[in-house]
Amino acid sequence: MPGPSSTCPCSKPKAIVIGAGIAGIAAAIRLSVKGYQVEVYEANSCAGGKLSEFEELGFRFDAGPSLFTMPQYVDELFLLAGKNPEDYFTYSKLDIICRYFYEDGTRITAWADNGKFSSEIALKTDDSAESVNTFLKKSGKIYSVTHHVFLEESLHKLSAFFRLSTLKSLLMFPAIDPFRTMNKANETFFKDSRTIRFFNRYATYNGSDPYRAPATLNVIPHLEQHFGAWFPGGGMYSIIKSLVKLAGELGVKFRYNTPAEEIIVQDKQVKGIKANGNTIDADLVLSNMDVWFTYKKLLKGQVQSKQILEQERSSSALIFYWGINAAFPELDLHNIFFSEDYRQEFKSIWQEKRVFSDPTIYVNISSKCKPGDAPEGCENWFVMINVPSDTGQDWDFLIKEARANIITKLSRNLRSDIRSLIITERILDPRRIESQTSSYQGSLYGTSSNSRFAAFFRHPNFSGKIKGLYFAGGSVHPGGGIPLALLSAKIAVNSIR
């Protein structure tokens, strides 16, 4: 059934958002504030996309992103709507960002306080506190050069390159360290393999390979150390709940269990969408669906950008959600168990397209900060390893093999039989990530950032060929992860004239 027509002078212009991931919700809020009547069409029964939750046998799990940084981008949405963020959403800063475990027995605590952090590295490795401080200063410099241009503006409009701030950043391009790899740069800052692995790990924050990705990605530690890591009072999914509540108060309508079937285009102009066999008129459409599926499923009759759609995808994840019948005081909210052969792990993922036998393991335990997430005396473990995107591997075999290797590694490091403590389990692999979130090949961050000019090659937040078509989410500029997804919504909506 056709929706309201924007030709009526008494009606607001209408915007349709496809997908209720965090970028789609943020875009809907911004569009509503901008004066649009907004409807969000979501294929699943609830909002959140990759950022979801579930409960099982008394355990609550945040099923997707588990690290919360730069909360100011969430607060901004409430302030934009004239609301007090604290009336909707609370969060607290972590004193310990993460705990790191190495096979030689080394255990490093990444303190939020830079002085304590650099002293910890000096105490536990062969690198000095001064080397850490020098590295973090460089990380901050990369951020100061890049954030206005690469993170908060479109790179796909000529006008952007005539702004004074953009010209200054372009003149300082060598300062962002784009001409050597992340690993190569880190080997000049540090000499200890443990420290190098520590900082190489930040490439995985956008699904990339530190042995190929540019050292520009060394901006990421600044985002974590300078702005801090935080824990939302209600768990990660409370971010989604609070934003959906705000959107509803602004008049945004959510249509769940209603996947978009087609974006209707006439004479290079968006006219609306088709859903449930009906045509819904709109003045503009913003897709929060992975850009690959947006073109392949919703824009079948339109010109496809082969250059973008055939780019290398980011890595994916294999996640085990374990209810653990024990408590481990040596673990914190965020924990990393490093592989001894980090280079081979990334070679396995990126070149051999398989799961490494000694993977680096991330364990998130939200019950450390929110005790109600697990029964008394128990913990809810979100156990993740980086894996290649899905290109047809035998995932059933790989999952079985990886599970055994993960349990062996964790049992060895924690000196406990982890297998006997697992009382509930769910598994998420690249196939299910694709089917549940329309992320092509199960890639978590759209395209990889394994080339020095990857930022320039991401799909823009608007269509240059179809008027009224916009894009937001981790598969388009500026990239994946909660902060960048929120920024993609901001850039997309600010592109509307």
Interval 221-277: pLDDT, tens: 999 999 999 999 999 999 999 999 999 999 999 999 999 999 999 999 999 999 999
Find the angle CA(103)-CA(109)-CA(112) to the nearest 5 degrees. 150
Q: Are residues 194 and 264 in the same domain?
A: no
Distance (Å, rounded) from C-alpha 491 to C-alpha 154? 6
Q: Are residues 218 and 256 in the same domain?
A: no
CATH code for position 472: 3.50.50.60
Percentage, residues of the chain above pLDDT 70 = 93
Rg (CA), the chain: 22
Q: What pLDDT was estimated at residue 6? A: 43
Mean pLDDT of 319-342: 98
Task: Check residues 168 and 249 and name the one with the higher pLDDT.
Answer: 249
The structure's pTM equals 0.93
- CA 3 distance to own-chain centroid: 33
The string of DSSP letters for 398-465 reads HHHHHHHHHHHHHHHHHTS-GGGGEEEEEEE-HHHHHHHH--GGG-SSSB---STTHHHHSBPSB-SS
Find the angle CA(306)-CA(312)-CA(315) to the nearest 5 degrees. 145
| Domain boundary, last residue among 227, 259, 286 | 227
Lowest mean pLDDT among 2-16, 69-83, 397-411, 453-467: 2-16
Q: Are residues 157 and 141 in the same domain?
A: yes
Q: Are residues 251 and 176 in the same domain?
A: no
Q: Decide if 444 is inside a domain.
A: no
| Domain boundary, last residue among 227, 252, 274 | 227
Q: Could you report the per-residue pLDDT of 15-72, keeping only the tens digit for each?
A: 999 999 999 999 999 999 999 999 999 999 999 999 999 999 999 999 999 999 999 9
Q: Do the strands 379-387 and 316-324 form a parallel or antiparallel pair, or are they unpaired? A: antiparallel
Q: Decide if 206 is inside a domain.
A: yes
Q: Is the CB of residue 75 less than 8 Å from the CB of residue 86? A: no
Torsion of CA 243, 220, 449, 109, to 10 degrees: -100
Q: Decide if 370 is inside a domain.
A: no
**What is the band of 3 on the pLDDT scale with cuts at 50, 70, 90?**
very low
The string of DSSP letters for 258-327 reads --EEEEEEETTEEEEEEETTEEEE-SEEEE-S-HHHIIIII-TTSPP-HHHHTSPBPPEEEEEEEEESS-
**What is the band of 160 on the pLDDT scale with cuts at 50, 70, 90?**
low
Distance (Å, rounded) from C-alpha 336 to C-alpha 355? 17
Q: Which domain holds residue 257?
A: 14-51+233-311+453-494
Q: How many domains does the chain have?
A: 2
Q: Is the CB of residue 214 less than 8 Å from the CB of residue 451? A: yes
| Domain boundary, last residue among 208, 227, 246 | 227
Q: Is the CB of residue 230 less than 8 Å from the CB of residue 93? A: yes
Q: Are residues 237 and 211 in the same domain?
A: no
Task: Pick the closest to residue 356 from 367, 337, 343 (CA basis).
Answer: 343
**CA distances, 200 to each of 110, 130, 155, 205, 321 (Å):** 15, 18, 26, 10, 26
Q: Are residues 239 and 160 in the same domain?
A: no
**What is the band of 175 on the pLDDT scale with cuts at 50, 70, 90?**
confident
Q: Decide if 292 is inside a domain.
A: yes
Q: Could you report the per-residue pLDDT of 354-401, keeping only the tens digit for each?
A: 999 999 999 999 999 999 999 999 999 999 999 999 999 999 999 999
- CA 402 distance to own-chain centroid: 23
Percentage, residues of the chain above pLDDT 90 = 85
Q: Decide if 325 is inside a domain.
A: no
Residue 166 predicted with pLDDT over 90:
no
Q: Are residues 159 and 188 in the same domain?
A: yes
Q: Decide if 334 is inside a domain.
A: no
Q: Decide if 293 is inside a domain.
A: yes
Q: Are residues 266 and 200 in the same domain?
A: no
Q: Are residues 207 and 140 in the same domain?
A: yes
Distance (Å, rounded) from C-alpha 142 to C-alpha 172? 10
Q: Are residues 194 and 214 in the same domain?
A: yes
- CA 461 distance to own-chain centroid: 17
Q: Are residues 239 and 189 in the same domain?
A: no
Q: Decide if 29 is inside a domain.
A: yes
Task: Check residues 3 and 284 and name the one with the higher pLDDT.
Answer: 284
Residue 86 predicted with pLDDT over 80:
yes
